Chain A
Amino acid sequence: MKSFIKPAQNKLYGYSNWRYKALFIIIFGFCVILVIGFIALNFGTIAIEPKKILSIIWQHKTDDSLGLIIWELRIPRLIMAMLTGMTLACVGGSFQGILRNPLADPYILGVSAGAALGACSVIALQYITGLYLIPILPIFALVGAFISISLVYLLSRKKSHLPMTDLLLAGVAVNFFFSAIITLLLAISRREIHSMVLWLMGDLSTASWQKVFLIVFPVFLGTMLLISSSLELNAMALGEEEALHLGVQTERLRLKIFFIGSVMIAIVVSFTGLIGFVGLVIPHIARLMVGPDHRIMLPVSALAGSIFLIICDTIARSIIAPTEIPIGAITALVGAPIFIHLLKRRNEHDE
């Protein structure tokens, strides 16, 4: 029989060692994050020399204004962008896997609408009462997100089942319903429209160490749990019945991914607002780069999401500084052409 791969040349019977590949990619990705992150620190309203930044970081200087800008503004914001990008891309990739739908994104199952409604309610309340309520905004967003997660779950559950189509439809319905209420809020609180829209398009300017510490643990734990389900997510690509035939308890898997992913998204968007595009397109870019095997695709998505959001946030806050552009506009503006380019290149490669 003709052999495509000669066994003598490869100890793994023609399979590549995905562990080495993943390890290499992760190390490489972290190096890129370090470099890009350092470059990102240079940008902003006040120009600071790279040498000066190095010495500030090295000596952990926070006693002057430059030190404060670096340590209390730019670095937490950088880390926040990184964690947010990682979460959005990783959850997006998992949802695309579990729903067998390349158009799925982290917001498709309704989390975002709940968070947005929570956030906009606070802004509306602030407008009505005149109190300063912005510090409690994340709490309301989180509560809103959890309400919508439970709502979607309760609407789509049938006895002990959680059918895929019902989950998707419940998510879409909750999204539409909550969006309608948000539109009403926008209409009645005209003076606050600007801050609502800013939140809806994503905003990393409020990043702080406190927020970083609040999200870092759940985000890393969630990412690990999602990546640990990679093999089962691979099986899902064959179809629900095929996955069952491969011993995957598809109902349980779907429930697990839905809850872990939604909770991660809820926690992150409560602080950052709804940053779009990342969770939809970064997983596709990862697939184009390393193939659809979730064991590699998910870590690559997480890293690529981080890198991508760091770049976008840097552009958003520095291109017409001191004014900030909503990061949601930048993600699509920068991401769409990259995505189209990769897609075209792949199609040419296939022909």
Chain B
Amino acid sequence: MMNNTESNPIISLENVTFSYSSQPVLQEVNLSIPQGKFIGIIGPNGSGKTTMLKLISGILTPQKGVIKIFQQDIRKISRKKIAQIISMVPQESYITYNYKVKEVVFMGRIPYINQWKGEALLDYQISREAMEKTDSLIYAEKGIHQISGGEMQRVYIARALAQSPKILMLDEFATHLDLNYKYEIIKILRDSLQEEVQCIISVFHDLNLASYCSDQLILLNKGRIEKIGTPHEVINLQTLEKVYRTRTHIIKHPKLSIPQVLI
């Protein structure tokens, strides 16, 4: 389980409660996330998945409770410092002006660049490597408004990797990806866990993909954690029926022994 059995957690949430005006979104959430894991957050619409990501990255501040990354209260870390630790792949966002792909990837280096000294050669090198990894170098010179949704998603992942994060967060990264790229990107993410990225947290809509990717799943229901554990422990008939209020069928993946959900 995810509680403090392993050394020190990278991220911990203690008694976190968050609400938009008077609408509670997350209630009394306790959680600690260990090193080296791919964490999937699942749950029905409005269960607080994306809010949880925003709380962990310090964009939202909880009304109650404490969030720590690397044992440090997130409120006491500067935005720039947080950006050097956490990077985020957004679900979808519109870029106002038609930047080139390589320029957007390079923006991942902004937290490291001093306003007056400017960028170093290393910043270019890291951006290029991020594009190589995500296979987006082929269209590096294209305008961001001229590429497809799938290509765009790879650019976002490249930008997040260029940020050299220790914690990589993704919000439904696979929505527009073709099958082959889905597989490729998951492999890239997995590989990055072997390198400098110490933890990946991703919100999933697709339970099967979540089961395929994650070491640990967090199932949210109405702002509370319903269940935490391996895909095996979380994805079962009773739990899914309770949370999603739908009868499902669960089969075992023919190659990997992970649960897959059929309706």
Contact = CB atoms under 8 A, between A and B. Distances in A.
Contact of A228 (B96, B98, B116, B138): B116
Given A12-B124, A13-B124, A237-B96, A246 B163 contact: yes
B154 interface: no
Contacts of A11: 121
A287 interface: yes
Contacts of B233: none
A7 B86 CA distance: 29
A232 interface: yes
A235 B155 CA distance: 15
B82 interface: yes
A106 B221 CA distance: 47
Interface string B132-160: 10010111110100100000000000000
A115 B102 CA distance: 42
Contacts of B95: 237-239
Contact of A2 (B59, B115, B137, B163): B137
B124 A245 contact: no
Contacts, number: 115
Contact of B115 (A1, A228, A235, A242): A228
Nearest to A229: B115
Contacts of A242: 88, 90, 93
A291 B141 CA distance: 12
Contacts of B141: 4-5
A139 B90 CA distance: 48
Interface in B97-139: 97-100, 102-104, 106-108, 110-111, 113, 115-116, 118, 121, 124-125, 127-128, 132, 135, 137-139
A102 interface: yes
A13 B95 CA distance: 24
Contacts of A320: none
Contacts of A249: 79
B107 A15 contact: no
B84 interface: yes
Interface in A233-277: 234-239, 241-242, 244-249
Interface residues of A, number: 39
Nearest to B59: A244
A3 interface: yes
Nearest to A246: B110
B43 to A, nearest CB: 21
A100 B132 CA distance: 30
A247 B97 contact: no
B86 to A, nearest CB: 7
B76 interface: no
A245 B107 contact: no
A14 interface: yes
B90 A239 contact: yes
Contact of B106 (A3, A15, A241, A292): A15
B80 interface: yes
A178 to B, nearest CB: 28
A244 B99 contact: no
B192 interface: no
A14 B107 contact: no
Contact of B135 (A1, A12, A229): A1
A133 B160 CA distance: 60
Contact of B99 (A232, A234, A246): A234
Interface in A75-117: 97, 100-102
B214 interface: no
Nearest to A241: B59
Contact of B83 (A14, A97, A239, A245): A245
A20 to B, nearest CB: 13
Contacts of B163: 246
Interface string A53-92: 0000000000000000000000000000000000000000
A97 B78 CA distance: 24
A319 interface: no
Contact of B121 (A12, A246, A293): A12
A78 B98 CA distance: 34
Contacts of B83: 245-247
A231 B87 contact: no
B57 interface: yes
Interface of A: 1-5, 7, 11-15, 19, 97, 100-102, 228-229, 231-232, 234-239, 241-242, 244-249, 287, 291-293, 350
**8 nearest A-B pairs in the assembled complex, by CB-CB distance:** A247-B83, A292-B97, A247-B111, A247-B80, A13-B128, A13-B124, A245-B88, A237-B96
20 contacts: A2-B137, A2-B138, A3-B137, A4-B139, A4-B141, A5-B141, A14-B102, A234-B107, A235-B107, A237-B96, A237-B99, A239-B93, A241-B90, A241-B93, A245-B59, A245-B88, A246-B110, A247-B84, A247-B111, A291-B99
Given A242-B88, A291-B99, 9 more contacts: A1-B132, A15-B106, A101-B96, A228-B115, A231-B113, A231-B115, A232-B115, A239-B93, A241-B88
